Every structure is written in C-alpha cells, then in structure tokens.
Structure 1
Amino acid sequence: MDPTLKWSPSNPGGVRCGVLDHNIAVFGKGESGYAGVPLDNVGIEYGRKALLAGRLTPAKFVDVNARIGGLDKTTFGAAPGRTSADPQALRNAYRSGYMAIGNTLGQTPHIEYRGSNEVTAHVTYPSLALNARLDRFEGTHASHVLWQGPVPLIGNITFPNRSVLEIDRWIARIQDDRSGRTQAEKVRANRPADLTDRCELATGLEQQGTDCPLLTRFYDSPTNVAGEGPRNDVLKCQLKPLRREDYPGVTFTDAQWATLQATFPTGVCDWSKPGVEGDPDRALAHLRGRSRRPRARPGARRGAVRGRARAARRVDRPAARPSRRAVGADRAREGARLGRRAPCRRARARRARPTRRVVPVPDPARPADRRAAASPAPRRAGQHRERDRPLGRRRGRPGRRRHRARAARALTPRAPAAAPRALPEA
C-alpha cells in the first residue's frame, strides 16, 4: 500500500487498517473520532493470582500495575494511563454478538482444530473459554468438538477438509430432525457418536479427550491471572473498593499501599459480578430459541408493542438519513390526513418536466407514407397522432431525429402566398 494513503498522525485523512476500524459499523465512533474501542483495563490487578500464590512479590506486583498503562485510542499504541472503553462501543460489542458470551452458542455446532501456538496472535485459552461459556448456559459443551495435532496452529494438514465433511454430516442430521426439541437440544442430540474430542500424534496414534500437553499447551489470559473466571467474557469490570483484607497472606508497606491507591483511585475489579453492559438477557436476544419480545398489555395496540420490541433489539448507532421511500410515505400520509391524494412518482416527474410535441411529416418519397395516405388505418380510441414525450427521457439518438424532421420540412412544398387584396377606390 502506498504510504501516502495510509493513516498516520501527520496524515489524518489516510486509510486506517486496524481491526477495530474494520468494525466501525458495529462499534460506531468513539471519543477519538475514529472507531470506538470496547476494551478496558481500569481496575484490573495484573498478576493478582501469582501474588496470592507467592510467585510474585508485593513490590513487583505494585510496580507492574503502576506502570502497565493502556492503549492509545487514536494510534493504538501504548499509553501511560489506563484505557476506558467507549460506552457505545462496549454496549454494541455485547448486543451485536462481537463478544459471544454463550447465550446463543449452543444453537450452532462447532468443530475446532488447533496445534501448538507460541508466537502468533491465535492464543489457546479461547478454546477452554468457549467450553466454559457453553457450560454456563447449556450445562454442557457437547456442541463443541476440539481436535488437536502436532502441526503448529492447524493441528494436522488433513483437519480442514475432514472438518468440512464432518460438520456437513452433523448439520444434515440436525436438519432431518423434525422433533419438537429446541435448536440447542437438536445440535447435541444429533452429533455423530464417532465425532469426539481427539488428539492425533504425528505417528498416527489417536487419543480421546482434550488433555494433550505434548501437542498443545493452554495458558491463562492476563485477566484470568488478575482474577477473572475461565469464561473470559468481561470487557469492562465492575469495581469495588481497594482493601487490605482482600490480600490474605500478603503484606504491603505504607509506600506500596499508597502507590496502589494512586493506581486504582476508583477501585479494583469485582469479578464476582457480570461485566458492564454484559447482560445476557440483552445480548442477541432476537436469535435465541425463546422470544424476548415484550408481551402486549390488555388493550395495547399491536404497533406499539412491535415498536418496543424493535427498540429492545436495536443496536445503538448514529442516526441515519431517511430514505426517499420513507419521505414519500410521510408525504402521502400527510396528504391523506388533509384530504388530498398524493400523485405517484411518475406523475410528479412528468408534471415537473417540459414536453415537446413531435408531429411526423409525411414524405411522398417513402413507400410506407404513400400506402398510409392511400388507406389510412382507423385510429383506436385514445390514440393520438402527436407523441408527447418528456425532453429528459427521449429514446434513441435525438440528433438524427432532429435532422430528419428538418430535411422533411425542407422537401415539403409550401403553398403560394395569397395576392394582396386591392383597396376600394375612393
């Protein structure tokens, strides 16, 4: 890509190629003027589990959290202060399904394949997080199958093709299920018996299950080590006061505690509570098996109930300009209210454009005109000799028609002028 077309602080009108910029239609614009940021690390105590387990000293814990900083929302580089999520982007991340908390995941069969991954961005902990999210809402993660192998990132070179064939077989059985079970129940019940979690070694040996330490190593995420549960579905945590008794067996000096108070002035994360805007009853409610539409009250109009249902499912986004159809419908309703009939679009366009009357001139040299003059065809009712055609919508080549009409007028003999009438004698 041409560097002059790419965004930079010195070229603010350039193209931005970040992942969040690709999803600006979902997140909307943030406080930076670019795509909103749904990420947040306010209140996160990095290394908390290691501190309580004795693998991290209090001095190191305080130093890491005081200097870790956050994300610059404009350049997406490091920033000295913590990052606070844009409210609209945070709300839309949950309600659009960008953050899949698990309330609809059970309705879709999943086959995942992976190998060891130590350097790239495709980390391993989301596999276990997906199982935990399914366990929360479905009580089981039977709709998720995990294959592991020795090839980095993909596990086995045969996994991509094999997974397509297996998922096709699974979906075909779901589609043939005509029972009254819910979609999530059909997904679990129609999973083929031979389609299970497995670990395939390079020698061809196969082991059932997901515990394959020789093939894939699973690590905790930074928020897991900070105290979050295995689901990893909190984008912005709710806060609680910073208290010494929340660190059993750990002793901070007065200077260290003062640094922690300055680092967390509004408090630290309370992982026992759901994330901010992470209400499962609002996230993708229109895709779940049971309806979340508001029930009609006795005597309530159906249109009002539908309007509330649409508002409940709506993802917040900037207001859009009304379409031409919507504007025309509003004008028609206003005309009906005042007792006037709104003309159709074609009639309005014809009325607004000037017209030109083209009168065909018979040419004696043309055989068709001689036959028409000898035996004129009877005209039907409503048929006119002149053709009214708008100037802006003439067909064919108007220049050729104009020259032909001019030549016909030149060839048509003109009647001799009448002699002047003599004046009576006085």
Structure 2
Amino acid sequence: MRFPLAALAGRAASASFTILLAATGASALALTAPASAASAASAAAERDSVSLQVLSSKPEYVSGGSALIKATLPPGIAKQGFTIMAGRNDVTSAFTAVGDGEYIGLVKGLTEGANTIVLTPSTGRGLTTSLTVTNYPISGPMFSGPPIQPFICQTGSLSLPDGSKLQTTPNDPNCSAATNVQFVYRSTKGSFVALRDPKSLPADLAMITKPSGEKVPYIVRVETTTIDRGVSQMTMLFDPSRDAEPSPTARPRNWNGRLVYGHGTGCVGGWYISGAGFGYSPLNDTWLSRGYAVATNTLNHPTNSCNPVVAGEVTSMTKEYFIKRYGVPAYTMTVGTSGGAYTSLQVADAFPGLFDGVFIDATFPDALAIAMSGMDAHLLSNYFLGASASAASFTPAQQAAVSGYANTMALVANGNQMGRTDPVPGRLAPTYPGIANYNPAVFNAAVPASLRYNPNGPTPNFAGARPTVFDENVNVYGRAKNPLDPSQSSTYALRPFDNAGVQYGLAALNAGRITTTQFLDLNESVGGFDTDANPVPTRSIGNTSAMRRVYQAGVMLSGGGGLASLPIMDTTAIYGENNSNYHMQWEHFAVRARLVEANGNADNQVMWRGGPVSAPVSTGTPLAIATFEQWMEKILADTGPGSARDKVLRDKPSAAVDGCFDASMRFIPETQTLGVNNSTCNTMFPSYSNARIQAGGPLAANVFKCELKAISAADYQVAFTPAEMARLRRIFPSGTCDWSKPGVSQTRLVPWPSVGPSPVHQIFDVNAVQ
C-alpha cells in the first residue's frame, strides 16, 4: 500500500473560515493623522497586521464552548508581548507560535451566545483588535431549526471497532455519550482488527509505504463522539510509537493533511432517529491507505436523517470538532453514493467553505428529484394499470413515450419511489411483474408504533410522526393544520407538489405517438394527491411559500452556491434503465443543467459513465480516484491570480474530461448528453427522461409549479377538432404550463440558510403562524 501524495508541508487551508478585524481602541486615534503619506501607509499596514481569525468554523457558528483562533501580530513580537482575553478570562497561555508573529490557540470556556475575544499587544504600539464569536451547545441546533420530535436515541446501539458500545448519558434527549478513542490496525489479510494494546504491535500488521519510501505501520486512530444529536467518528493514520496526543500543532506524522468527509446512502425511513450506524464507513481503506483522514456523522447518513439542512449543520460541527482536534486540513473533499451523492452536492452548495471538492457516484440532484418525479410517475402508473377503457388503449410503447422511461417496468419502479412522500401505512397500489410492491410509510424499527402517524383503523393516530421527506424537513417547509384530522389538532408539513397545467404526454402527442383522444383522456383522468398522498381526481396545488423556502434553503439543489467554484466528478455507477432500477441518468444531467442555469456553464463538472456491468465506474475506481486527486492537488498548489472557479477550470487534469467506458474499460472521450442512440456513449448507455420532461418541463427538474398561459392551437404540432379544443379548455380552465418562464416562487439559494435559532441569513421561523 502506498500514499499517492506528499505529506502536508505547512500549506494554508483553502477552506478555513476567516474573519479579519481592523484595529480599534483609543490609541488608534493617534495613527489617523500621520506626519506624511509614507508614515500613514506604515501605520495602516501595522494596524492591518494585527488580527484575530477563527480557523475552526465561521465566527457565527462556534460550538462546544471552544474555538481554534489564529492571532497575527507584526513580526518580532514575542508571546510575552501580547494578551488575549476571552471575556474576563486570560487565554494567552493557550496560544502557540506557528510563525513569526503568528500564533494558534484553542480558546475554551466560551459561554453560550456571543463572546468577545480581544487581542492587546503590550509593546507600546497600542493596537487592539477584537473578534465576536457566537457559541452554541455541542448538541445543537445552530441553524437547522427546532429539533425534530419525536427523536429516538440510538447512540448506545452503535458498535465501536472493538465491539463495545458508547457510554451514553441516561435519559438525555440530546443522545450524548462520552468521547471514545480506540485503535485498529490493518492486517496482512486485508481487514481492520481492534488493536487493544497500541504498545504491542501484532505480527500480522500491514505496512504502508509513504512517498518518501519510508514504511510505516497501518494503524488507525478512531475517535468517536456525539455532536448535534448524532454520532461523529474521525479516523486517521497514527503511529503510537512516535505520535504524541494529537492537537492542531502536533499532528499525527502519517496523516497527509487532507480530509475525506463521507455521506451515507438511502433516504427512505430517514426520520426521527439518531442512527445506530454510519452509511459511509470511517474505516475506509481506500482513503486511509492513501494517508487521508476520514470523518462523518450518523446524521450524514440519509437513511437516518433525510434532511440536507441538518446534514449541513452536523458537517459544520463535525468538521469544526476535527479542526480543533487535529488542525485545519489542506482541503476537504466530500464523497458519497446515491443519497450520499446528492447530500454531498447539497451541503457543498448551500454551505460554501465546508468542502473543496465533490467526488460522487449514482447521484440525484436531491431527494426531491426522486420524490417529485416519483409522484408524477405514480399518477401515470395508477392510470395505465387501472381498469378504465381509455387507459387500456395505450400500448406499452405509448406508455413509455408518455412517461419518458424506457418501459412500463421502469415507470412503475420509479412511481413506487413516491412511497417516501406517503404517510399512510398499508396503502395498496397497482403492481407490475418483477417489481416489489409499493411501500409507503417506512419507519426505522426503533420508532415505536404508538408514535407513528396512522389515519386509519379503529383508533387513528393523527398526532403521530409523519414519515415523509416533507415532514422530515418541516422546519423549511412550514406546517399547517391537517385538514384530514377531524379534531384539527394535528399538523403536517406543507407540500410543494403541483401539477396544475401540466400536459402529460405532450411530447408524445406532438411526435404523433399518441392520439388527441388519448392525450385528452389521460389529462382528464390523471388527477393529483391530497395532503396524505391519497389519489384524488383534481390536480394538486402546492404551497408556494414552502416552494420559495425550499429554493432558498437548497433543499432543492441550486448549483449556484458553493458548487460554482468546486471541482465536481460525477460517476454513474448504476446505469441500467430498462429494469426496476430508479437511479436514472437524467438525474445526473439535471445536476448539470442546474449548474449551467446558475453559472452559465458546467465546465467544473466532469461526468464518467459505464464500465463493466460487474464493476461500473464509481468513486471506488482507481482511475477516477487518481484523476480527482490530481485535480485537487493542482488546485491546492495553484498560487496564481484569479478566482477559485478560475483555478478549478485551469487546473483540470488532461484526463478530467467527459466520457464513457466500455465493458473492457476503454475510455471514449465524449461530452455526455441525455439521449438514446444519438452518440457513442448513449448507444452503449441509453438515457431516458421522466413524465414532467415529456410534458415540456426543463431537464433541470427544478420547477415545482409552472406559470400558466392561455391555451392556443398554435402551441401544438397536431390539429384538434373544435370539440377537442373545447374539452382541452375544460381540462385546463386556468391554462397550461409556460415552461419558458421561471417557476412560481423560484428564487435564489441563500448561502448558509438558517431556520433558527441563528438569526444570520434566517429564511424562516417554523414556529410562526402559518
């Protein structure tokens, strides 16, 4: 095993959070009227050379009562030449010199709320600077809003490397546990084994060869702690024979200074639990063997928590903890598959500065892309597999043309993904050969049945927890009285799904693949859903205020936030579309379309598809890893002029170009596009669309509700009879979608959005009256 990278050599981190404060104080007044322009410039330079910086987080988002601070003074000032106060506490002794006039210190004892840190040089210059930081408890929240309830703590169920469990705090609603440190080693048989005595090295210990040629023991330090009601774990190489206790100024010598932050998978059932496991293992041989540190939190696993704002918060707090423990990484890349891929994208975009690169596979734009396209597909599945004579007139080929999917099997499989929006247990839906039955109201088994929403049966429980992607994110969507609850005492999360004016099958009609009668029958019968996802004959009307907040919070991926300036490598991993798979390629292209819409192009995104069926190209493919590493390293080494985006584009390796791989892993360089048989790659890996795109909607799939326009015969490439045109107007009395316009309530992302308690960039107070 070998490191691919040189060890970190004191480079400044590109993603550290920094704030520079101008010098203040009475003595600064004497510097405002220098004797000459030269002395004025000298005084200004001296003032600017005195600063305090937060290295561990944004100043407004400090947690756990401590912050890693950097103090900068004019060169030549020794430590005894200044004082640093945190409130009334003298914290000067916490600071260690890291350069001439540069000191780093972990300031502890911060109180909850605002804290002022003051740096006062005592050299006669009289320059004083101050910094205000806002501290939150390590249990959170900071900006994700009121903690979701109910919430089942599973902290004590999580297994540690040696098979033991965390020591939890009894009856603690914050799911707290004592921090635990263990060691594991990689055996020569290729597995991780608990190292119970770090001073006694086992005979089957594997070794790693560093770039220098030095062989070092493959021993990993595993630190586990509770953060924001989840469990965080951090791993890195550690040599117990040579390494001291880690600190920001005493790093483990075999760590390469880089951090991989992993997100897990899934989403269904990801609500109301802290999580008993990680979806992305911190004991990751791929990255540890290359010298990286790895970190994650159980709430970064969408199967535990399908909430991107919470994911952003636990990422911020976990990375802050990591920095205070080990120092600022040279860069942080986020890695994920499926649900972990879209969470990586969402956190990178909505919370710029947390990540420096995105390396993903099998992605969707966001959980909403699965849910909303699933709702459209489920409407069509209910219609096509129903008993009506009009539905029976559609051939399988026509069903595919209307839906955009490869065939009816793919349509139904994707329609079944609407289950993550359906809170009603036991609901039945049309089935199709080769596909598992529709599965609504999925809960983790840890959530007691008595706490679950159930509007049916002899004793309905309207007050129970609602198992949907909307209710898990209620702090963004907002809540309202449940109109289906006879007592009107319970609430539900407002819903954004809207299909008013959507002309299902429009592309198929204009292509002559279905008749005008079929088009009218379909759109007259397709209907919508009510607040409990019950099929209803009328079209759905989404809540426009909820839509606006979803855009602002990045719950629907924007692409115009942090992603605008990051390298993104997108690998497909799963690409079959003529079966029961619901990882569709259009979802990759939807991400690209959003990047183009937000930034003018997607030149910072590279897309690879294909490879052997048994081992498709993914984030585990050595060539993909090497290419992305090279990209990250070139950006890190680039000290030239220009913006972060400029560097991302000019530092792309020659191998970082779009393309696909055949079954023998031969690379075909080709700009990747959505389509079937219209290119070499699309001939090998045909990519289909969905019902909303076939209705004229954008590939970006980022419009909840379309603006409407009056019906006109000129908008169609087929002729309607006068009677058919009259029927069309009855079906769409308010008009049809005008896809040339932005969606209703469509607005920009608010970077670092807050739904409380933080007032910074706050977009909503869920406790306000709806």
Distance 1:192 1:36 in 2: 45
Q: Is 1:100 aligned to residue 540 of structure 2?
A: no
Tell me the amino acid that sits aligned with residue 514 of structure 2.
L
Matched ranges for 1:136-215 at <5 A: 136-150=597-611, 155-156=616-617, 159=620, 163-164=624-625, 166-209=627-670, 210=672, 211=679, 212-215=681-684
**Partner residue, 2:702:** 233
Q: Aligned ranges for residues 345-424 of structure 1 at < 5 Å?
A: none
**2:719 is equivalent to residue 260 of structure 1:** no
Contact 1:30/1:37, CA 8 A, preserved across alignment: no
> What amino acid does structure 1 have at the position aligned with 2:475?
A
- Cα displacement string for residues 189-222 of structure 1 (whole angstroms, at most 9, x for unaligned residues): 2222212223222223221223523543211222
- In 1, the alpha carbon distance for the partners of 2:693 and 2:571 equals 23
Kept in 2: contact 1:113–1:159 (CA 8 A)? no
Structure 1 distance, partners of 2:479, 2:565, is: 32
* Distance (whole Å) between structure 2 residues aligned to residue 154 and residue 73 of structure 1: 42
Q: Given the alignment, which residue of 686, 702, 707 partners 1:217? A: 686
Q: More displaced, 88-97 or 190-199?
A: 190-199
| Per-residue deviation, 1:4 | 4.3
- 1:125 equivalent in alignment to 2:591: no
Partner of 1:61: 519
Structure 1 segment 296-311 matched on structure 2, within 5 A: none
Task: Report matched runs for 1:262-301 at 5 Å.
Answer: 262-279=730-747, 282-284=748-750
Residue 85 (structure 1) shift: 1.2
Distance change in 2, residues 1:272/1:193 (3 Å)? same
3-state DSSP of counterpart to 1:147: strand
- The alpha carbon displacement at 1:102 in A equals 3.2
1:233 is displaced (CA, Å) by: 2.0
Q: Where does residue 338 of structure 1 map in the other structure? A: none
Aligned equivalent of 1:83, options 511, 523, 540: 540
Corresponding position: 1:314 with 2:762? yes
CA contact 1:31–1:86 (8 Å) conserved in 2: no
Q: Secondary structure at the match of 2:493?
A: coil
Shift of 1:173: 2.8
State the distance in 2 between where 1:154 and 1:23 align: 35
C-alpha contact (below 8 Å) 1:6/1:16 kept by paired residues: yes
**Partner SS, residue 479 of structure 2:** coil
- Residues 60-102 of structure 1: CA deviation (Å, up to 9, x unaligned): 111111111112222x243322111112210111111122243
Structure 1 residues 50, 96: closer, same or farther in 2, change over 3 A? same
What amino acid sits opposite 1:41 in the alignment?
N
Tell me the equivalent position of 1:249: 718
2:730, 2:749 → 1: CA distance? 35
1:28 matched to 2:478? The reply is yes
Which one has a bigger Cα radius of gyration? 1
Structure number with greater CO (CA < 8 Å, separation at least 6) is: 1
Other structure's SS at 1:271 match = coil
Distance (Å, rounded) in 2 between the aligned partners of 1:154 and 1:27: 39
Q: CA RMSD in A?
A: 2.9
User: 1:270: how far off?
Assistant: 0.7
Out of 503, 506, 521, the residue aligned to residue 45 of structure 1 is 503
DSSP-derived class of the 1:34 partner: strand
Normalised to the residue count of structure 1, the TM-score between the two structures is: 0.62
- CA distance in structure 1 between the aligned counterparts of 2:644 and 2:480, rounded to whole angstroms: 37
CA distance in 2: counterparts of 1:117 and 1:15, whole angstroms: 35
Higher strand share: 2
Distance 1:3 1:154 in 2: 40
Higher helix share goes to which structure? 1
Cα distance in 2 between the residues matched to 1:223 and 1:97 = 21
Distance in 2, Cα, partners of 1:25 & 1:224: 29
Distance in 1, matches of 2:469 and 2:621, equals 25
Partner of 1:345: none
Check 1:18–1:318 CA distance in 2 against 1; reply closer, same or farther (3 A cut).
closer
Tell me, yes or no, if the aligned pair for 2:571 and 2:619 is still in contact at 8 Å.
no
On the 8 A contact 2:575/2:584 being kept in 1, the answer is no
Task: Check conservation: 1:111, 1:144, Cα contact below 8 A.
Answer: yes
Q: Output the amino acid matched with 1:245.
A: A
User: Aligned in 2, Cα 1:271/1:73: closer, same or farther, shift over 3 Å?
Assistant: same
User: Letter of the aligned partner of 1:61 in structure 2?
Assistant: F
**Partners of 1:39 and 1:85 within 8 A in 2:** yes
**1:17 counterpart = 2:483:** no
Q: How far apart are 1:49 and its partner, in Å?
A: 1.7
Answer whether contact 1:116 1:153 (CA < 8 A) is retained: no
Match of 2:107 in 1: none
Partner of 1:402: none
Alpha-carbon spacing, 1:151–1:66, altered in 2? closer, same or farther (3 Å): farther
Residue-by-residue CA offset, 1:161-184 (whole Å, 9 max, x unaligned): 654554344233323333342222
Distance in 2 (CA, whole Å) between partners of 1:315 and 1:161 is 42
Gaps of 5+ in 1: 288-309, 322-426
Unaligned runs of 5+ in 2: 1-444, 483-490, 673-678, 754-758
CA distance in 2, matches of 1:8, 1:160: 45
Q: C-alpha separation between the residues in 2 aligned to 1:233 and 1:25?
A: 20
Residue aligned with 1:126, SS? helix
- Work out whether residues 627 and 655 of structure 2, in 8 Å CA contact, stay in contact via their aligned partners in 1: no
Which amino acid in 2 is paired with 1:13?
Answer: A
Equivalent residue letter for 1:316 = F
| Aligned AA (2:468) | G
Aligned partner (choices 113, 116, 120) of residue 575 of structure 2 = 116
Q: Contact 1:26 / 1:96 at 8 angstroms: preserved in 2?
A: yes
> 1:300 maps to which residue?
none
Indicate if the aligned counterparts of 2:611 and 2:665 stay in contact, CA closer than 8 A.
no
Q: Secondary structure at the match of 1:81?
A: coil
- Secondary structure (helix, strand or coil) at the match of 2:571 reads strand
Q: 1:320-354 deviations in whole A, cap 9, x for unaligned?
A: 79xxxxxxxxxxxxxxxxxxxxxxxxxxxxxxxxx
SS in 2 for 1:207: strand
Are residues 162 and 277 of structure 1, via their aligned partners in 2, closer, same or farther at CA, if it must alter by over 3 Å?
farther
Specify which of 589, 593, 596 is matched with residue 135 of structure 1: 596
Which moved further from structure 2: 37-46 or 117-126? 117-126
**In 2, are the aligned partners of 1:113 and 1:154 still within 8 Å (CA)?**
no
1:285-308 superposed Cα distances (whole Å, 9 cap, x missing partner): 679xxxxxxxxxxxxxxxxxxxxx
TM-score, reference length from structure 2: 0.35
- Equivalent AA in structure 2 for residue 273 of structure 1: K
Secondary structure class of the residue paired with 2:685: coil
CA contact (8 A) 1:47 1:225 kept: yes
Q: 1:277 to 1:153 in 2, by over 3 A?
A: farther
